[in-house]
Amino acid sequence: MSALAELMASIVESVKATLQPDGTRGVDVKPLHCPMELAELSRHFTAVPSVVVTMPEIKTGRPEGGVVVADVAVAIYILTAGINPLVRNDAALAIVEALLRVATSSRWGAPGVRPASDASARVIFADELDRKAAAIWELSFELQVDLPPAAGLNITPFDGASVELEPVTGVDLGALGIA
């Protein structure tokens, strides 16, 4: 598993441990491996309350002492619902507060991770959400992660899978719109 995949799994497990301390499933927590789309809420959130964890941006700079350090943006989306806006907002704020404490004091149980120095939370307001009696908060922060030296790429993890590439001949690439 790559260091970044391990970090994502560690964040999800840490969030579960924070929000489900007795092991009961009070808050649904899962990773998101695609952009957050408000128009597709039912695809991203399958229960209420729910938390979705994503890494929308990863940047690297110059290696520090031979170690590549990645700046990993993390966004955690919190969905709550209820007829009364104050109740759903209070529920979201309780989750945000618990996760803010973890984000700024934790290494998320993954090697080479430094605690976030800054974290922020904001409510995402949309008329569609209000009509559905729902609230979504976004908690975002950036982590610095030491990336270990590459141990080789395994881009075909399935036994027996193979891809053969042959040169393309006799095709007019201009006709396909490819220059």
Residue 87 above 70 pLDDT?
yes
**Tokens 């120095």, located at residue:** 117
pLDDT for the residue 141: 93
| 63: confidence class by pLDDT, cuts 50, 70, 90 | confident
More reliable by pLDDT, 157 or 101? 101
What's the whole-model pTM score? Answer: 0.76
Which residues constitute the domain of residue 117? 3-147
- Calculate what percentage of the chain has a pLDDT beyond 90: 18
Mean of the pLDDT values across residues 47-76? 85
Residue 122 token pair: 């904001």
pLDDT for the residue 172: 55
Residue 22 within any structural domain of the chain: yes
| 24: confidence class by pLDDT, cuts 50, 70, 90 | low
Residue 164 within any structural domain of the chain: no
42: Cα separation from own chain's centroid? 17
The CATH number given to whatever domain includes residue 88 is 3.30.2000.30
Into how many domains does the chain fold?
Answer: 1
pLDDT digits (tens, 9 = 90+) for 115-155: 887 899 998 877 777 787 888 889 999 998 888 776 554 44
Residue 143 within any structural domain of the chain: yes
